[in-house]
Amino acid sequence: MAITIVQAGEPVLRKPARPLRPNEIRSREIRELIEQMKETMHAAPGVGLAAPQIGQGIQLAVIEDRAEYTREWTAEQLADRERQPVPFHVIINPKISVIAEERIDFFEGCLSLANLMALVPRARKVRVECLDEKGAPKVIKAAGWYARILQHEIDHLHGTMYVDHMHPRTLMTVGNYTTHWRNTPMVEIKEALLKP
């Protein structure tokens, strides 16, 4: 059963979430919450959902970037964004570090900022140490779009949202992005939107 996604202005979105304890991770409540979060993310649809976005101040997020989300994209668009499918997985109590200082600008949206998008600079490569849904430690090394998803969701666990990082002049509705910018090369977007 999908859960309501809270929107910007809800206090839980601006508070650092608390780490989950080992006994909590393996509990029936957390297993059920993960399933509900997965359903909610798919229903939205989205590529990630952090527990604070459903009103739970705990360090838990679900991630999945399905091939169907980009089936109408060109090979050039996928390559430009370094985007490929990411299987469903859970991250708990993550610690993130930047592997390379290179930063890349792309549009991001957020299920807690319905119908808005903006150009957001993010690290191109990251390393994440976390626990999985069974409490087992894992290390994720990610680049491109997957690295962006991880940074976005982990930000939520620290009370941060993409609007804190965005280029303010690029904030727009999803409809306007689709109509005017979706098929525009990034160099042209930056020229048009980032120069006053």
Tokens representing 61 are 């997020």
Contact 41, 48 (CB under 8 A): yes
Q: Which of 109, 133, 91, 117 is closest to 44 using CA atoms?
A: 109
Distance CA 12, CA 30 (A): 18
Does 188 participate in catalysis according to the annotation?
Answer: no
Question: Which of the following is catalytic: 29, 35, 68, 153?
Answer: 153
Phi-psi category of 56—alpha, beta or left, where left has phi over 0 and alpha has psi -120 to 50?
beta
- CB half-sphere exposure, 64, CA atoms < 13 A: 19
**Residues labelled catalytic:** 153
